[in-house]
Structures are given as structure tokens and as C-alpha cells.
């Protein structure tokens, strides 16, 4: 039977949205994936990929099978491992191991340990057939820890700590990383500390969005506190260029790398920035002014002493995680003085500058936040929590 019959079978298959069809469908998908990976392995060993001008099997998969770089590398690695692991390959092909389980096995076996796993797979793999991905991962990690000690040369050949970061054509970026167990524990701990809980009025965030917010906090914290250049509380090194017309017309700005930023993003960055005036005639610089730090260190210290934490209602982020927010925006003529500044943590600073949000400071440094749905939340300054709550008279 050729692939034409398979195409017909896929088109004619009737899948109903019930648990049984979904589970069976995924088993079939995995069995087809097993056949494809087996074929990838044979194509890889034949070297036929070179005829298409590719420099590797993974490169061929990217260019001709339209796989992402990560998928192409992973498919090639799994194909090579399975060629040396007949029991695992058979269990995968017959639908007894899922693709997720095979990926989990591959993640814990490398070129130095594959021979040892080939000796053990006959005993180990049948026990995996009833396990979840998590249980399979636990068992394989246990095996990998002990395999290192049994191999002559336990040095792993795969790069374990690796991060890929790419700037995309639209100015956004993508980050992907793999860590060894020790680094992963460090990363997990940092995320746990940097993640902040939901506060009243905020939109609900997904787990990925919470982690991204934590990630931004970790990066900002480093940029504000590292000691490489100018001592403590450095500024994030984003350089924006903005013409007088951009400033007046609220048309946003571009970074020196050419990425466009919206008007709201520019307003937020201007809250806590160093501003330099550069007068240009076309591309020629005619004059430039002294760099001016909007909120100098002394003013930040006064803010920290007064506000103590982020002033978003309910948030307790400490000053070292916070920005000085101009209540009346700097762009609109808001002054850089204590009366017009308040501390906001990086996440709440980004939130408050989004469309639909408003923050005002009332007498006595009481902060009122209005959410996009019109809810008004109040934050009193520390030690001034408003009237004491009523106490029950003693009986």
C-alpha cells in the first residue's frame, strides 16, 4: 500500500469528539511518526540528503520537510538512537510507547550511554508501557544518573546548558533553552521568587505569561543592580531615538536597533530613563545636550523610604524591583519631583501604561487605580492605612 491509500484513509476517517477516538487517534499518529522516524534514519544513513544541497539531515528536514530547527535536530537524534535500540523502536512502532515517552527516553540517552541502554532496554522498556510521561522521565533520569557511573567515559557529549535567543524580523524575540539539573534547579528557584501573585483588578494571566513577567523582572533586576559600569541601580540599556514630532504626535519611537515601540511603551520607558537631546540636520549631528537622569539616585531613595513597596493596591514588591512612575507623564510635562512620582514594580508599571488603565495620586499619597472595566482600587501609603477598623466592645 502506497501513501496514496493512507491519504484516502485519513480523508475518509470519521473522528468523533469523544475520549476513545482521541486516544486511538493519537496512538495512530504516534505509530505513523515511528514509521516516519525510521525512514528519516534510513535516509540519514544513505546520505541522500546531500543531493539536495543540504549540509546535514537536520538541515534537509528544515528546508524540505518544513520542520522547525528544534524539531529537525530532535527527529534526527531520535532516528539515530532508535537505530541502536531495537526494543524501544519496536514498542514505539507497535503503539506500546507514545512519542512523548520516546522523546523522554532520547532526552536521557546520549551517544556515550546508548550502548548501555541497548543492554538494558529489554528489561526496562516493557515496564514503561503503563507509565505516564512524568513517571517515564523519573525512571529515565534515575537510569541516566547511574549510567554515567557505569560508562568508561561518563562525560556527556551533548551540550547540556544551552540557550538560543533570536531577534525576529518584526522586532520581537524568541528564547529557548535546555539546562542541566543543577542549572534547572537554579532557574526554577529564580522563577519561584520572581513570580508575583494575582492582584485585584488585574487580568488573569496564563502560566506562560506569569513566567514571562517573572523573566522580565529577573532581567531588569540584573540590569538595575549589576556592578559592571556605573554602580548600583543601573538603567536597562535600551536606547530609543525619538524626534520632536514623534514626541508631540504620540507616534512612538524606534530603538537604535530599529525595533518599533508603541506610544504607551515609550511613555513607560520615559518614566525612569536617561534623556539626551541630540539635534540633527538629516544624519548630521549639530548639537547634543548633557545626559539627564530623570529620577536621580537621591530621589529614588526618598521614594523608596516613603513608598516602601510597589504602590499597586496589594502588591508588596520591594523598591529594588521597582521603577519611578511619573503620575503625570513626563511627555505631558509631568515633573520629576517627589510629588509626581510613585514606585511601581516592573510588572505593574507595564500594566498601568496599557490602554484603559489610569493611576492618580490623591492628597496624602493615596493611589487610585482605575481598571479598564472601571473598577477603582485604592492603595494607602505605609503607616497611613486610613481609619482603624471597628473593634468589638468587650462583653
Q: Which residues of 98-118 are buried (b: 16+ CB within 10 A; e: fewer)?
A: bbebbebbbbbbbebbbebbb
Q: Which is nearer to Zn ion, 80 or 317 (CB)?
A: 317
Sole window of 58-66, 289-297, 304-312, 376-384 interacting with Zn ion (rule: CB under 5 A)? 304-312
Q: Is 240 in the site for Zn ion (CB under 5 A)?
A: no
98-103's contacts with Cβ under 8 Å and 24+ in sequence apart are 98/26, 98/27, 98/30, 98/133, 99/29, 99/30, 99/33, 99/34, 100/133, 101/128, 101/131, 101/133, 101/136, 102/34, 102/78, 103/74, 103/78
- Min CB(335)–Zn ion separation in Å: 14
Number of residues forming the site for Zn ion (CB under 5 A): 9
Of residues 210 and 268, the one with the C-beta less far from Zn ion: 268
Q: Does 348 bind Zn ion (CB under 5 A)?
A: yes
Q: Where are the alpha helices (DSSP H) in the chain?
A: 3-12, 19-46, 57-64, 69-83, 86-93, 99-107, 114-128, 133-150, 181-194, 207-225, 244-249, 263-271, 297-307, 346-352
Judged by CB, which is closer to Zn ion: 204, or 390? 204
359 makes contact with Zn ion (CB under 5 A): no
CB of residue 345 to Zn ion, shortest distance in Å:
3
**String marking each residue 307-346 x if it binds Zn ion according to CB under 5 A:** ---x-x--x-x-------x-------------------x-
User: Minimum Å distance from CB 199 to Zn ion?
Assistant: 7
Cβ distance to Zn ion smaller for residue 140 or 367: 367
Minimum CB separation from Zn ion for residue 342, in Å?
A: 9
Q: How far is the CB of 59 from Zn ion (least distance, A)?
A: 46
The answer to whether the beta carbons of residues 312 and 345 sit under 8 Å apart is yes
CA angle at residue 162 from 159 to 166, to 5 degrees? 135
Between CA 131 and CA 136, with CA 135 as vertex, the angle to 5 degrees is: 75
Between 105 and 367, name the residue whose CB sits nearer to Zn ion.
367
Kindly tell me which of 59 and 319 has the beta carbon lying closer to Zn ion. 319
* Residue found by looking up cell 515601540 in the block: 261
Q: Which of residues 154-183 bind Zn ion (CB under 5 A)?
A: none
Out of 194, 240, 271, 294, point to the residue binding Zn ion (CB under 5 A). 271
Which residues are near Zn ion by CB under 5 A?
Answer: 268, 271, 310, 312, 315, 317, 325, 345, 348
Amino acid at each position: 500500500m502506497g501513501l496514496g491509500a493512507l491519504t484516502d484513509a485519513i480523508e475518509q476517517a470519521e473522528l468523533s469528539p469523544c475520549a476513545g477516538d482521541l486516544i486511538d487517534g493519537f496512538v495512530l499518529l504516534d505509530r505513523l511518526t515511528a514509521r516516519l522516524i525510521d525512514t528519516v534514519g534510513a535516509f540519514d544513513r544513505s546520505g541522500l540528503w546531500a543531493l539536495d544541497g543540504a549540509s546535514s539531515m537536520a538541515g534537509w528536514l528544515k528546508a524540505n520537510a518544513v520542520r522547525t530547527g528544534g524539531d529537525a535536530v530532535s527527529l534526527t537524534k531520535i532516528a539515530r538512537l532508535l537505530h541502536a535500540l531495537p526494543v524501544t523502536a519496536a514498542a514505539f512502532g507497535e503503539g506500546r510507547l507514545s512519542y512523548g515517552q520516546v522523546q523522554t527516553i532520547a532526552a536521557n540517552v546520549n551517544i556515550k550511554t546508548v550502548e548501555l541502554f541497548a543492554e538494558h532496554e529489554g528489561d526496562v522498556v516493557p515496564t514503561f508501557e503503563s507509565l505516564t510521561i512524568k513517571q517515564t522521565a523519573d525512571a529515565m533520569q534515575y537510569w541516566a544518573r547511574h549510567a554515567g557511573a557505569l560508562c568508561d567515559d561518563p562525560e556527556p557529549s551533548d551540550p547540556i546548558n544551552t540557550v538560543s535567543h533570536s531577534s525576529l524580523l518584526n522586532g520581537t524575540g524568541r528564547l529557548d533553552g535546555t539546562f542541566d539539573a543543577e542549572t534547572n534547579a537554579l532557574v526554577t528557584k529564580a522563577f519561584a521568587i520572581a513570580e508575583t501573585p494575582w492582584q485585584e483588578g488585574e487580568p488573569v494571566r496564563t502560566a506562560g505569561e506569569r513566567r514571562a513577567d517573572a523573566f522580565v523582572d529577573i532581567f531588569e533586576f540584573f540590569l538595575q543592580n549589576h556592578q559592571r559600569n556605573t554602580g548600583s541601580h543601573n538603567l536597562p540599556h535600551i536606547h530609543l531615538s525619538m524626534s520632536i514630532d514623534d514626541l508631540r504626535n504620540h507616534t512612538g519611537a524606534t530603538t537604535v536597533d530599529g525595533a518599533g515601540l508603541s506610544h504607551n511603551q515609550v511613555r513607560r520607558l520615559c518614566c525612569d530613563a536617561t534623556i539626551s537631546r541630540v539635534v540633527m540636520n538629516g544624519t548630521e549631528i549639530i548639537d547634543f545636550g548633557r545626559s539627564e537622569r530623570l529620577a536621580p539616585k537621591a530621589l529614588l531613595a526618598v521614594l523608596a523610604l516613603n513608598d516602601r513597596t510597589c504602590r499597586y493596591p496589594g502588591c508588596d514588591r520591594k523598591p529594588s524591583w521597582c521603577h519611578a512612575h511619573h503620575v503625570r507623564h513626563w511627555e505631558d510635562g509631568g515633573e520629576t519631583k517627589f510629588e509626581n512620582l510613585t514606585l511601581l514594580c516592573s510588572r505593574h508599571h507595564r500594566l498601568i501604561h496599557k490602554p484603559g488603565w489610569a493611576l492618580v495620586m490623591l492628597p496624602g499619597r493615596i493611589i487610585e487605580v482605575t481598571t479598564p472595566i472601571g473598577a477603582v482600587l485604592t492603595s494607602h501609603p505605609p503607616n497611613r492605612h486610613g481609619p482603624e477598623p471597628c473593634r468589638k466592645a468587650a462583653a
